[in-house]
Structure 1
Amino acid sequence: MMNIVIYTGLSISFNEAKSILDADYRPPVKRGDIYRLLEENDDIDVIGIIDGVFHQSPAVAHKEILKALKEDITVVGGASMGALRACELYPFGMIGVGNIFNDYKTGVIDSDDDVAVALNPDTLEQMSESWINIKYNLDLAKESRIITGDDEKELLSIAKDTYYPKRSFEYTFKKSSLSPEKITPLTNYINTNKFDIKHDDAKKVIEYIKKINEKNE
């Protein structure tokens, strides 16, 4: 079995991740974590980056990932910080997986704030909503004719301008000019149909790494 380390816990729980692939799961990556990992272990085969710290402490540096790549370690990223770093480093060999990685690559999103959320550092519980997840859900609401294109533009602009720890569907709707006659069905729609694109992409990262592992068994 390959030696696999995956940084997550926010986009997908450790328990769910372990049900997909048996690996060494660690909390969201921060500056210096990969350097320390490489110093402590000389037999790492794969590093998966899903979640990372954005503002609580410095984010994982590009040089750390490049060092892992130079040591012939496969580095796979997606969903959150992993998607951002994969978009920046895929020309150097980092592998990007999922919709959010493609959104960064094609310019749909362009900043770390677009995937940032507030978290409880003790439980890794998500305390706010990412802008990209709001966008994916509002896209579906528009397709279902719950809101118009202009409504969506206003809501996404409000969410974009909201400091990420305060960002939520409820806060965004409250700050908008939408009438109660629009907000009520939109809220009901989100409550019934809401999905988490970061969670979906996190699963894709783990499933991708699982395939790598199976090929090497």
Structure 2
Amino acid sequence: MKHENKNKNIIVFTGPSLQPTEAKEFLEADYRPPVARDDVIKALRDNPDIIVIIDGVFHKAPAVSHKEIMEAIKKGVIVVGGASMGALRASELDDFGMVGVGMVYRDYRKGVIESDDDVAVVINPETFEQLSEAFISMNYTFKAAMAKGIINKSDFETLIKTAKSIYYPKRNYNKVLKEVDIEEKRKKLIQKFLKDNTIDVKKEDAIAVLKYVKKL
């Protein structure tokens, strides 16, 4: 690369996975709200060297298209994705030059998760605060509970099936435990585990994406 990263024009689309105020601790960049259709095209007008896609809209408005990401890549822009919408698009476009980073990206690539619903959350439109829980984070959290012997494989499968059945805006740990068919004694053990052991895989991946970009 021609210059130091700090002199590059970097545009980052983020929101619930990692708030811009937190993100700035890891990378100086032009932070913008979760990406929607045509936002990448608009971003190209500012001549970015790197575009980072972490969060994006899913159901409330048209999602960022493959075509506009491809347009950015064709123009020589490095496009990096991870954590949420970025992970999904990177899994679909990495053969065409988009760079994927993180566990969520790898899970999409492996087919462990397949739909946008697996990373979708409902957010406060003003603050981008996350108001529901991502299925993918629940998956990692319940796996951790199983690894520690809090639940067995059958419990894990029941919890995951229940979580998946809940429409994403209403998905949270309390609702899953309320609806899941597991004995009360074990539910209490799970609740105790969740107090200090929930895994926010999307946030972890968002940080990994920014650290990757900083090293470019």
Deviation at 1:98, TM superposition (A): 0.3
| 1:184 matched residue in structure 2 | 188
Q: Which runs of 5+ in 2 are unaligned?
A: 1-6
Task: Provide the aligned C-alpha RMSD in A.
Answer: 0.7
1:48 match: secondary structure = strand
1:104 pairs, out of 105, 108, 111, with 108
Deviation at 1:16, TM superposition (A): 1.1
| 2:26 matched residue in structure 1 | 20
Deviations 1:141-160 (A, max 9, x none): 00111111001101101111
- TM-score w.r.t. the length of structure 1 is 0.95
**Hey, what's the Cα distance between the residues in 2 that align with 1:154 and 1:111?**
20
- Any runs of at least 4 consecutive aligned residues in structure 1 with deviations exceeding 6 A, and if so which? none
Matched, 1:154 2:158: yes
| 1:209 matched residue in structure 2 | 213
Matched, 1:142 2:146: yes
| 2:78 matched residue in structure 1 | 74
Deviations 1:149-183 (A, max 9, x none): 00110110111111000001110111011111001
**Hey, what's the Cα distance between the residues in 1 that align with 2:166 and 2:188?**
21
Deviations 1:3-57 (A, max 9, x none): 000000210111111011110000100011111112x32x210000000000110
Matched, 1:121 2:152: no
Name the aligned partner's letter for residue 75 of structure 1.
V
**Hey, what's the Cα distance between the residues in 2 that align with 1:4 and 1:17?**
13
2:24 match: secondary structure = helix
**Hey, what's the Cα distance between the residues in 1 that align with 2:8 and 2:181?**
53
Name the aligned partner's letter for residue 125 of structure 1.
E
Name the aligned partner's letter for residue 62 of structure 1.
H
**Hey, what's the Cα distance between the residues in 2 that align with 1:96 and 1:126?**
23
1:75 match: secondary structure = strand
Map 1:31-70 → 2, pairs under 5 A: 31-38=37-44, 40-41=45-46, 43-70=47-74
1:20 match: secondary structure = coil
